[in-house]
């Protein structure tokens, strides 16, 4: 890597890590308080699922537009605007009184996080060069940090008498702070030089579409478990909200610990091989979590689910950037669009199953989707090897 790029890389990694920490905390927050939100809004599980699904709808729309927005306005401005929009959505959620109003605010926050995700990932792909896999794992590590810390802090605070509304307002405030930091990001806008053109070529790539499909299943499963684990623990395992919040933190701790290790070791493991190993571990752990009877057994399984999930998103993003080196922003948009679509469909589908057949049946959907990810990773291995020959 050329020396003049070193300040860019340092600033990009620090601000991307802060953005992912906010993203992790904000995305975890509704799921952490889901049992309380269902009670306070007086809604059915499918209505709760619909409210949460509004966020990935906004996320998907923003992702589809992000490549062109970055090319037109630059990464710095788009990231500052995206984080500000996410802040508005979360702070607004703390002020609403109906689940429909909550859905609107979730949609607004999704718009902000969608452009943020594309901007930060494409920036790290281009700035990182051959080290992109390490930088992606390092930055995404902080998604896990935010996700791990939030359930513990929030459930303890709410248990001590703090209004749940203030937790959403606090989340919005933290996002505003990061938006201000991006607005001051005064370095070369390397991601913007990757034009949002050639999209048809990317869309015709079987590999890019497989990346998008895999991220769709992964994100839908990862966020679905993150969104419904506390409700499952409270409703099926009969534990307190604080205990369930701690279980959710352990889930995200597994993901955080895995990304910490991969930020150092990922360059020694081929991404496609890592995907097979990670998806297999996560799927086995999901199945075990549904079988074990003791709550502590579920907590242990949750740690291994998070560990299995830890390397999937960064590995797919890195593979996409490596396979399409001249279309970093565009291929990132396509992949994350797949992630957004999965985030809409899968958790809502699970909520419909849970509403009709119970939470155990709903969570079993995620075990089945884990098996789908194993098949996808094996197919991806084959396609990558064929491309190298």
pLDDT recorded at residue 188: 54
For every residue of 15-83, DSSP letters joined together read HHHHHHHHHHHHHHHHHHTHHHHHHHHT--HHHHHHHHHHHHHHHHHHHHHHHHHHHHH-HHHHHHHHH
Lowest mean pLDDT across 66-70, 225-229, 325-329: 325-329
* Cβ-contact 220, 345 below 8 angstroms: yes
pLDDT recorded at residue 133: 67
Residue 279 lies in a domain: yes
Lowest mean pLDDT across 11-15, 331-335, 359-363, 383-387: 383-387
**How high does pLDDT run on average in the chain?**
85
Residue 222 lies in a domain: yes
Lowest mean pLDDT across 6-15, 20-29, 166-175, 247-256: 6-15
- Residue 357: give the domain boundaries: 3-183+198-388
- CA 61-65-66 angle, 5° bins: 110
Percent of the chain with pLDDT over 90: 41
Q: Is the pLDDT of residue 126 over 80?
A: no
pLDDT recorded at residue 335: 84
Q: How far is CA 364 from CA 93, 323, 350, in A?
A: 30, 34, 9
State pLDDT tens for residues 180-192. Answer: 999 987 655 544 4
Residue 209 lies in a domain: yes
Domain of 29, CATH number, reads 1.20.1250.20
Q: State the residue for tokens 């909200």.
A: 241
d(CA 389, CA 386) in angstroms, rounded, equals 5
Radius of gyration over alpha carbons of the chain, in Å? 19
Number of domains in the chain: 1
* pLDDT range class, residue 373, cuts 50, 70, 90: very high
Residue 192 lies in a domain: no
Q: Is the pLDDT of residue 129 over 70?
A: no
Q: Is the pLDDT of residue 389 over 50?
A: yes
Residue 15 lies in a domain: yes
Kindly compute the dihedral angle of the four CA atoms of residues 290, 24, 191, 12, in this order, to the nearest 10 degrees: -130
d(CA 296, CA 12) in angstroms, rounded, equals 39
Q: How far is CA 265 from CA 89, 135, 268, in A?
A: 37, 11, 6
* Cβ-contact 125, 317 below 8 angstroms: yes
Lowest mean pLDDT across 3-17, 33-47, 110-124, 137-151: 3-17
* pLDDT range class, residue 343, cuts 50, 70, 90: confident
* Cβ-contact 335, 324 below 8 angstroms: no
Please provide residue 80's backbone torsions phi and psi, each rounded to the nearest 5 degrees.
-65, -45
Which is nearest to 147 in space by CA: 257, 6, 15, 296? 257
Residue 189 lies in a domain: no
Percent of the chain with pLDDT over 70: 88
d(CA 278, CA 310) in angstroms, rounded, equals 8
d(CA 360, CA 380) in angstroms, rounded, equals 31
This prediction's pTM: 0.74
pLDDT recorded at residue 380: 84
3 state DSSP class of 187: coil
Taking residues 109-123, report their average pLDDT: 89
Q: Is the pLDDT of residue 96 over 50?
A: yes
Segment 349-355 long-range contacts (CB within 8 Å, at least 24 positions apart): 350/49, 350/224, 350/228, 351/45, 351/46, 351/48, 351/49, 351/50, 351/52, 351/228, 352/46, 352/49, 354/45, 354/49, 354/228, 355/44, 355/45, 355/46, 355/49
pLDDT recorded at residue 128: 60
Q: Is the pLDDT of residue 134 over 60?
A: yes
State pLDDT tens for residues 277-330. Answer: 999 999 999 999 999 989 999 999 999 999 999 989 888 887 877 776 666 667
Residue 230 lies in a domain: yes
Q: How far is CA 281 from CA 42, 288, 373, in A?
A: 37, 11, 11
pLDDT recorded at residue 193: 42
Q: Is the pLDDT of residue 241 over 60?
A: yes
d(CA 266, CA 2) in angstroms, rounded, equals 22
60 sits in the region (left: phi over 0; alpha: psi -120 to 50; else beta) called: alpha
pLDDT recorded at residue 274: 85
Residue 191 lies in a domain: no
Taking residues 3-16, report their average pLDDT: 71
d(CA 6, CA 12) in angstroms, rounded, equals 10
Structure-block tokens of residue 389: 């020959």
Q: Which of the pair, 268 or 197, is modelled with greater confidence?
A: 268
d(CA 248, CA 302) in angstroms, rounded, equals 8
State pLDDT tens for residues 152-189. Answer: 899 889 989 999 999 999 999 999 999 999 998 765 55
Structure-block tokens of residue 182: 């991006």
188 sits in the region (left: phi over 0; alpha: psi -120 to 50; else beta) called: beta
């Amino acid at each position: 890597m050329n020396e003049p790029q070193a300040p860019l890389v340092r600033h990009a990694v620090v601000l991307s890590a802060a953005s992912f920490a906010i993203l992790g905390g904000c995305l975890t927050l509704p799921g952490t308080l889901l049992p309380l939100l269902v009670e306070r809004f007086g809604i059915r599980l499918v209505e709760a699922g619909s409210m949460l699904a509004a966020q990935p709808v906004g996320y998907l729309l923003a992702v589809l537009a992000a490549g062109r927005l970055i090319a037109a306005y630059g990464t710095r401005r788009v990231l500052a605007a995206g984080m500000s929009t996410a802040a508005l959505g979360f702070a607004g959620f703390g002020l609403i009184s109906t689940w429909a109003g909550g859905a609107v605010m979730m949609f607004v926050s999704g718009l902000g996080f969608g452009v943020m995700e594309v901007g930060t990932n494409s920036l790290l792909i281009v700035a990182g060069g051959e080290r992109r896999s390490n930088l992606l794992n390092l930055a995404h590590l902080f998604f896990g940090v935010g996700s791990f810390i939030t359930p513990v802090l929030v459930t303890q605070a709410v248990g001590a008498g703090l209004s749940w509304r203030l937790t959403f307002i606090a989340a919005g405030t933290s996002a505003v702070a990061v938006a201000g930091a991006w607005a001051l990001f005064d370095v070369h806008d390397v991601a913007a030089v990757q034009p949002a053109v050639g999209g048809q070529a990317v869309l015709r790539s079987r590999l890019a579409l497989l990346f998008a499909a895999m991220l769709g299943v992964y994100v839908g499963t990862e966020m679905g478990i993150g969104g419904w684990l506390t409700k499952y623990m409270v409703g099926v395992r009969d534990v307190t909200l604080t205990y369930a919040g701690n279980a959710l933190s352990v889930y995200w701790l597994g993901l955080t610990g895995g990304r910490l290790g991969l930020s150092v070791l990922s360059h020694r493991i081929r991404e496609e091989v890592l995907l097979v190993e990670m998806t297999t571990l996560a799927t086995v752990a999901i199945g075990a979590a549904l079988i074990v009877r003791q709550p502590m057994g579920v907590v242990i399984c949750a740690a291994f689910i998070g560990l299995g999930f830890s390397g999937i998103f960064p590995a797919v993003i890195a593979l996409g950037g490596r396979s399409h080196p001249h279309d970093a922003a565009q291929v990132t948009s396509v992949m994350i669009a797949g992630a957004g679509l999965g985030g809409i469909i899968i958790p809502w589908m699970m909520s419909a199953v849970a509403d009709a057949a119970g939470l155990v049946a709903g969570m079993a959907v995620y075990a089945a989707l884990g098996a789908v990810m194993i098949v996808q990773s094996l197919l991806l291995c084959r396609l990558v090897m064929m491309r190298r020959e």
